[in-house]
Amino acid sequence: MKISGTIGTLLGLVLFAAVPAKASTLDYAFNFAGTFSGNGDILVNSTKDALGGYDILGISGSISGPTSGAITNLITTPGTPNATGLFTDPVTGKQWSYNDVFFTGAVPFDNNGVLFNFGNHYVGNIYSVGTQLFLSVSQPSAFFSPGSEIRMSVAQTPLPASLPMFLTALGGLWLVMRRRTKKVSGTGLGADRLVAA
């Protein structure tokens, strides 16, 4: 009976470790190529918004091309994500509309797209016209409107492969400690067994 209980506990731990927990955020890895190339991660809210996409909470990565640098932050204002914002670059005076919404279909951004800073205070906007994606940048101005055509691939980042193994190891450690505690308590070495010298 004890053996079947231990096997059941182990099986439960393994199954628990194999099922991913429902997270409140999702992570998507992206890369794109064209005149500009880039890669990074987009962190989104796991609940769909009114537009049928996911509100972007953060973006990181890097861009290479005529203007290069690390993506430093998501540009957002009160009311966005999930609403259209208008941003004016204080350096160049150029303007972008954006909504910071990500879609999991074939075209990951709508016509407003995602707006972010990168490199030396540059502004970037990835958006679509139909099914074609563009990267619009503040500098060089030749790539502001409509921007540079890009080909992008996006994939959800899975849980780390080591997480289920880690959870299983924790379960095994718990079983070993439990067994060890039972063994010590079952030795019968109580105070009544001590021999006076």
What pLDDT digit, counting tens, does each position of 86-105 carry? 999 999 999 999 999 999 98
The answer to whether 74 touches 118, Cβ cutoff 8 Å, is: no
Distance from C-alpha of 61 to C-alpha of 83, rounded to nearest angstrom: 24
Q: How confident is the model at residue 84 (pLDDT cuts 50, 70, 90)?
A: confident
User: Residue 14: is its pLDDT beyond 70?
Assistant: no
Asked whether the CA dihedral 24, 135, 151, 84 is positive or negative, the reply is positive
**What's the pTM?**
0.69
Work out the average pLDDT over 169-189.
Answer: 64
Query: Hey, which residues does 64 pair with through a beta bridge?
Result: 37
